[in-house]
Amino acid sequence: MNIVVLDGYGMNPGDLEWDALHALGNVTVHDRTAPGDILERAAEADAVLTNKTPLDAATLRALPRLRYVGVLATGYNVVDVAAARELGITVTNIPAYSTASVAQMAFAHLLAVTNRVEHYTEANRAGRWAAGPDFCWWDTQLTELAGKRMGIVGLGSIGSAVARIAQAFGMEVAAFTSKPQADLPAGVVKMPLDELFATSDVVSLHCPLTPHTHHLADERRLALMKPGAILINTGRGPLVDAGALARALAAGHLRAACVDVMTTEPPAPSDALLAQERCFSTPHLGWATLEARRRLMHIAAENLRAFIDNNPINVVS
């Protein structure tokens, strides 16, 4: 079997091995693949693995040998699944490999706002504490999370993990979810979306990106949020109207926005959110802990192995 990885660098910049895939066939790994190079690189492939390199209907139809596409992520919108189904191409994804890591990132962002450890570390390195007259000092608002309300949009595996951590911090937890109240974890209150935005001290987005959730956090809902509230987005960039969020931050209505994802990735240097001092941003790395990427690599190989054995798993096509 000929196996081609179109964009391996994102998940494996060199600290993991591809041995599990090599055991399944002849493997060619490309760090990145431009759209114009896909057909040439995948021409002899029986199986293609992709993370963000798009495989649209025209591309799939131009690869008659292709029988399997493994998406190296949970989201699989980079593949035209309907076309793959029509062509008899099996498409799989990698579910739930980064749940703990993304939940951890949500709270890394939140604590960056409430405790500002990096800010004080840099100030101490610059001599601020050493030159001060007092045994301690601070120049930012420091906030205790206990007793605050965490509003979670989407109570899947990651949202549920965030809820557990929030409760461990002593926070109240409300959730907007399709699940009935009886099926929610103890202490989590189901709430309509507008009420959740209006009453939460922190709103954290963990729902999938669909036409219904595109710009879910729009200008109207951002205006509903409590003055000084915090918005966290570790889901997908277009869940938020970035322009509206930049305006809410510039006006001082929100204390902070914490984003690990942007509308366009990588963002343009002129992106309005990057210029906002109240926006804490990381480059879509919540999923990228070594532990999560090891799981991703293992599941990717197991997905392909199961397909070879005519017993495919994690199929999305």
Catalytic residues: 236, 265, 284
Give the list of residues 6+ apart from residue 231 with CB closer than 8 angstroms, or none: 202, 203, 204, 205, 217, 222, 225, 240, 245, 254, 256, 257, 258
Q: Cβ(232)–Cβ(260) under 8 Å?
A: no
Note the helical H segments in the chain: 19-22, 38-42, 57-61, 81-87, 99-114, 117-125, 157-168, 193-199, 219-224, 242-250, 290-308
Give the list of residues 6+ apart from residue 58 with CB closer than 8 angstroms, or none: none
Structural tokens at position 167: 């409760």
* Distance, CA of 266 to CA of 285 (rounded, Å): 12
